[in-house]
Amino acid sequence: MKKTLQKINELLETKIIRKYAIAGGLGQFYYIEPSVTYDLDLIIDIAADKNQLISLEQIYQWAKNNGYKSLEEHIVIEGIPVQFLPVYNDLVVEALNNRSEIELYGVKTFILKPEYLMAIMLQTNRPKDRERLLKFFEEAEFSKEEFQDILRRFYLEKKYSEFKRRAE
């Protein structure tokens, strides 16, 4: 993982991506007991003009130039399948802009804050997200006020009420 994170940071240094943050299963692993995941999901911001279709072409070219292979929607970087997910809505943009800087395996990296991960799980609402969200409430340290504020601003309060009702 250390080498993978170092290579991902190269994408920042070369300005192929402007920002990134770990999300998904490995992002959640930082805050709660691990669940099964085999890849590293990265939320990324790529330099692109407004209203321009976002292309991952530069990332795939970088991978090819560095001898990394594609596997379905992943690029296998130093043995770890990495999925690059461009920001896709206002919640994810804000989550990326408010990411935390951390150190993993001795490497500076970035991760989404737990309140945003939780809101994204609620918004996405896949079965595995609902399961992980329950674990967040049981195990993670997070700001309830910040989480409530995010829910309010992104119109997720109704989804949260439904989630709580189902969880009871």
The whole-number average pLDDT for the span 45-72 is: 85
Give the chain's mean pLDDT: 92
**What is the tens place of the pLDDT at every residue in 114-143?**
999 999 999 999 998 999 899 999 999 999
By residue count, the chain amounts to 168
Residue labelled with tokens 């595995």: 128
Q: Are 151 and 163 in contact (CB under 8 A)?
A: no
Best CA proximity match to 43, nearest among 86, 80, 8, 81: 86
Contacts of 168 (CB under 8 A, 6+ apart): none
Burial class (CB in 10 A: 0-12, 13-18, 19+), 132: buried
- The 3-state DSSP class for residue 19 equals strand
**What is the tens place of the pLDDT at every residue in 61-117?**
999 999 999 998 999 999 999 999 999 999 999 999 999 999 999 999 999 999 999
pLDDT of residue 141: 94
Residue 49 has pLDDT above 60, yes or no: no
What count of other Cβ atoms lies within 10 Å of the Cβ of residue 98?
Answer: 14
Q: What is 2-167's CATH number?
A: 3.30.460
pLDDT of residue 39: 87
